[in-house]
Structure 1
Amino acid sequence: MLHRIWLGFFLIAFVGGLYQWLWLDDAAVFQRMVQSTFDMSKLSVELAIGLIGTLAFWLGIMKLAESSGLVDKFSNAISPLFTRLMPEVPKGHPAMGSMTMNLSANMLGLDNAATPLGLKAMQDLQSLNPQKDTASNAQILFLVLNTSSVTLFPITVFLYRAQQGASDPTSVFIPILIATCCSTLAGLLAVSFVQKIRLWERVTLLYIGGFVAFLLAFIGYFTTLTIDELQRQSSLVGNLMIFSAIIGFLSVAHIKGINIYETFIEGAKQGFDVAVKIIPYLLAMLVAIGVLRASGALEGFIWILKEGIGLLGMDTRFADALPTAIMKPFSGSGARAMMLETMDSHGVDSFPAYLASVIQGSTETTFYVLAVYFGSVGIRHTRHAIACGLTADLAGIIAAILVGYWFFG
């Protein structure tokens, strides 16, 4: 799927370039397209180098959380919920721990740390699957929760905003949290409807009800604030939670007698390798998107979309962030590249850039996760996984747009 999308970008760009040249008499269009390949190639390396330090730091912190047993404690805390959402998974089965660790890594915004844990969880669930080529109910629910997982610390989004010179890189923290919570709830409700999971049981309602109550209280408080105060407190809460988590992981690991320095170094060593590995993916998508925009094709699509929305009497500013939303279900690197390109074109503190950042943090990459996770255990029949995953994506994107207008409009 992704290789067709990538090829399509170049073909559409070429057609757009021909249109600009033959119909609009723009003879410089192909020069701009070629120049964009050089500019985006340089940008991809600069971004990857800038990621090394942050990835290394957070992978080191995650290693401390694992070594100190905090992940296991979190697993025990939510085990009563999982045993009811996934009744075919026995209590105490290894899948419980691996699923919890994966979702915990996702919540911390550590996508690269979450992937190997997710693959382990899918393998554990496959051991319980009676039909090895068909996704089980538990596997589908896990995949949808994975792709729509609540993100407490969208570190990568913060980092990219900081690299692009944002005045306050963490100002999108609260909007992302609200949008991703909506995505998770929508995904859970969609799967529960199809699988006939009884969400009204007392234990399940306590967990979900507590989560919803927290979210509503959170939203209710921020509705009382002015725009300036809302943005200021969003930044304060985000930075306070992030640094508090760091202090908590370090303190618990130290109390447990763990050599926190050596353990941190062990986890941080993975940062360089991960940053280098993503260079080809950034390069491929940034160049394709840069060429697409240089050809005028992307602007043409957005113009058509804006005109259609305008005819309905709606605000059209959100359309500039839609490239990120359109790419998000297909490719994480592609959506990231779209977000970066929006920041570069409109300014990192512009409304489209804010909105693209919130969209980027609102959901995971459904088709990529589905292909990797199900492919790793040989599943060919995905049943309702795609439909439920895309339902969560759509809910997250709609919520991101609404919250974007609320916070930054």
Structure 2
Amino acid sequence: MALSRIWSAFIIVAIVVACIKCFFLDQTEIFSWMVIGKADDPTNLTKVDGVIQTCWNAVEMCLKLIGVLAFFMGLMSIAEKAGGIRLLSKIVGPFFSKLFPEIPKGHPATGHMVMNFSANLLGLDNAATPFGLKAMESLQELNPNKETASNSQIMFLCLHAAGLSLIPVSVIALRASSNASDPTDIFIPCLIVTFVGTLTAMLIVSFKQRINIFQPVILGWVLGISAIIGLLVWYITTLNSKDIASFSGTLSSGVILFIVLVILLGGVYKKIDVFDAFVEGAKGGFETAVKIIPYLVGMLVAISMLRTSGTFDVVILGIKNFFTFFGADTRFVEALPTALIRPLSGGGARGMMVDTMTAYGPDSFASKLSGVFQGAADTTFYVIAVYFGSVSVKNTRYAVGTMLLADLAGVCTAIGLAYLFFG
């Protein structure tokens, strides 16, 4: 119900704003922009798609996703038949049994979630999505009410959407291509922000589900992960920008190849028919990609209408005027377009970040903060539409609110860190 109201609000607000611009500001072209798009948006310097093109883009996105889903879900099928997922579940079982008390001991869902979190941690977007969808499918098997999100699904998806990531590879690459003097200067703020967002999501969901997070097992794992992240931060700070790019690329690609190798070797060792197992799992990837098309079309169209109507411009202008009235430093407002669009559209937020670097320079305060916003969270509404849509969950309960609060905590943390790190 919450998602339904948000989706309706997006479209209604976009149309109302467009009507105001058309009839009061004489911007008669706004309606055609919303339907067919515009090639050159002067406020964004990027092509903005209308409703029709966005529908095509959503279907094209799902078609491209078929291959990735088929490959990785095929590998997951091999891992399950070889017992690898059960082994992974046993390793993290003590921790997950406290955080996900509804999941039976040794259930495959635990292994699927670990694979997803690991892929997210290393910035492996293409691998993280199939693992996450498989995790949602496994959790749906345990869900007594198939149309309502279970506690475990909410906890998993909120932690996933918080986007804890060690190295924001794509942001560093974009800053390097824009000739920033130090493309990696956003690394530590991004890591801290995603960690804060993840802890915020965990705390909120644990409070709602009455989970005691002060249990020794949970505290031990959280502190252990924190220590590992701290060591990685220390190591990264000893490298120059070129070595960081090389390290992150090698780590990300190497992990994917390592996962493929281990799964295949495990299947051969267990003497299962690895190719038949792969094909069986790959079929599920195709079905999942087709199933999420309606959910993705609906969400992306609503987001497109918000962008083309100029709603974001109105919101940002209002925020700037508010802080100006109180005499506060408003430099952070110039980076807010990225933060506002990031939960709605990864590609749109990327365009906003590039636009900020173009307008203010890659070494400006606004550009650096924009980079932190871009690398510090997942695309919340895309995640909601795709992951819940893949298992046909209609009632998301408090999942949307929790994700948005985690995003807000990340935004506030990012602004504070930007003033600390970038002046």
String of CA shifts for 1:191-245, please: whole Å, max 9, x gaps: 66784737363x5554333222111111222233344543443233222222221
Tell me the CA shift for residue 83 of structure 1: 5.0
Tell me the CA shift for residue 391 of structure 1: 5.5
Superposition RMSD in Å: 4.7
Match of 2:72?
A: 58
Secondary structure of the residue aligned to 2:378 is helix
Distance 1:290 1:371 in 2: 19
Tell me the CA shift for residue 323 of structure 1: 3.0
Q: Would you say the 8 A contact 1:59–1:268 is kept in 2?
A: yes
Selected match of 1:37 from 25, 48, 51: 51
Tell me the CA shift for residue 249 of structure 1: 1.4
Match of 1:20?
A: 21
String of CA shifts for 1:72-113, please: whole Å, max 9, x gaps: 112211233345567x77xxx835525513522532422221
Selected match of 2:328 from 309, 312, 318: 312
Match of 1:359?
A: 377
Q: Does 1:9 align with 2:25?
A: no
Selected match of 1:258 from 239, 262, 272: 272
Give the structure-2-normalised TM-score.
0.68
- Mean CA deviation greater in 52-61 or 224-233: 224-233
Match of 2:181?
A: none
Code of the residue aligned with 1:47 in structure 2: it is: M
- Mean CA deviation greater in 183-192 or 277-286: 183-192
Match of 1:144?
A: 155
Secondary structure of the residue aligned to 2:377 is helix
- In the superposition, relative to structure 1, how do residues 44 and 176 fare at CA in structure 2: closer, same or farther (>3 Å)? farther
Q: Would you say the 8 A contact 1:362–1:400 is kept in 2?
A: no
Structure 1 residues not aligned, in runs of 5+: 127-134, 329-334
Tell me the CA shift for residue 273 of structure 1: 1.8
Tell me the CA shift for residue 251 of structure 1: 1.7
Distance 1:406 1:251 in 2: 48
Code of the residue aligned with 1:120 in structure 2: it is: E
String of CA shifts for 1:118-164, please: whole Å, max 9, x gaps: 223445xx9xxxxxxxx9xxx7577435421486899xx999xx9x9
Tell me the CA shift for residue 17 of structure 1: 1.8
Code of the residue aligned with 1:29 in structure 2: it is: I
Tell me the CA shift for residue 267 of structure 1: 0.8
Match of 1:131?
A: none
Distance 1:158 1:271 in 2: 26
Q: Does 1:275 align with 2:289?
A: yes
Q: Does 1:197 align with 2:212?
A: yes
Secondary structure of the residue aligned to 1:209 is helix
Distance 1:238 1:395 in 2: 27
Structure 2 residues not aligned, in runs of 5+: 37-49, 120-127, 178-183, 358-366
Q: Would you say the 8 A contact 1:143–1:369 is kept in 2?
A: no
Match of 2:111?
A: 101
Secondary structure of the residue aligned to 1:116 is helix
Selected match of 1:340 from 344, 347, 363: 347
Match of 2:253?
A: 239
Q: Does 1:113 align with 2:134?
A: yes
- In the superposition, relative to structure 1, how do residues 362 and 320 fare at CA in structure 2: closer, same or farther (>3 Å)? same
Distance 2:29 2:288 in 1: 38
String of CA shifts for 1:157-177, please: whole Å, max 9, x gaps: 999xx9x9x98xxx9999987
Match of 1:69?
A: 83
Match of 1:290?
A: 304
Distance 2:188 2:278 in 1: 28
- In the superposition, relative to structure 1, how do residues 357 and 46 fare at CA in structure 2: closer, same or farther (>3 Å)? farther
Match of 1:132?
A: none
Distance 1:349 1:67 in 2: 49
Distance 2:205 2:297 in 1: 36
Q: Would you say the 8 A contact 1:55–1:271 is kept in 2?
A: yes
Distance 2:105 2:414 in 1: 32
Code of the residue aligned with 1:197 in structure 2: it is: N
Distance 1:359 1:8 in 2: 23
- In the superposition, relative to structure 1, how do residues 356 and 301 fare at CA in structure 2: closer, same or farther (>3 Å)? same
- In the superposition, relative to structure 1, how do residues 232 and 179 fare at CA in structure 2: closer, same or farther (>3 Å)? farther
Distance 2:319 2:60 in 1: 32
String of CA shifts for 1:243-273, please: whole Å, max 9, x gaps: 2212221222222212221111111112222
Tell me the CA shift for residue 319 of structure 1: 1.1
Tell me the CA shift for residue 367 of structure 1: 11
Secondary structure of the residue aligned to 1:312 is coil
Code of the residue aligned with 1:37 in structure 2: it is: V
- Mean CA deviation greater in 95-104 or 240-249: 95-104
- In the superposition, relative to structure 1, how do residues 105 and 324 fare at CA in structure 2: closer, same or farther (>3 Å)? farther
- In the superposition, relative to structure 1, how do residues 63 and 402 fare at CA in structure 2: closer, same or farther (>3 Å)? farther
Distance 1:291 1:199 in 2: 44
- Mean CA deviation greater in 55-64 or 188-197: 188-197
Distance 2:355 2:65 in 1: 18
Secondary structure of the residue aligned to 1:94 is coil
- In the superposition, relative to structure 1, how do residues 365 and 31 fare at CA in structure 2: closer, same or farther (>3 Å)? closer
- In the superposition, relative to structure 1, how do residues 354 and 209 fare at CA in structure 2: closer, same or farther (>3 Å)? closer
Q: Would you say the 8 A contact 1:324–1:356 is kept in 2?
A: no
Identity of aligned residues (%): 28
- In the superposition, relative to structure 1, how do residues 287 and 354 fare at CA in structure 2: closer, same or farther (>3 Å)? farther
Distance 2:189 2:379 in 1: 9
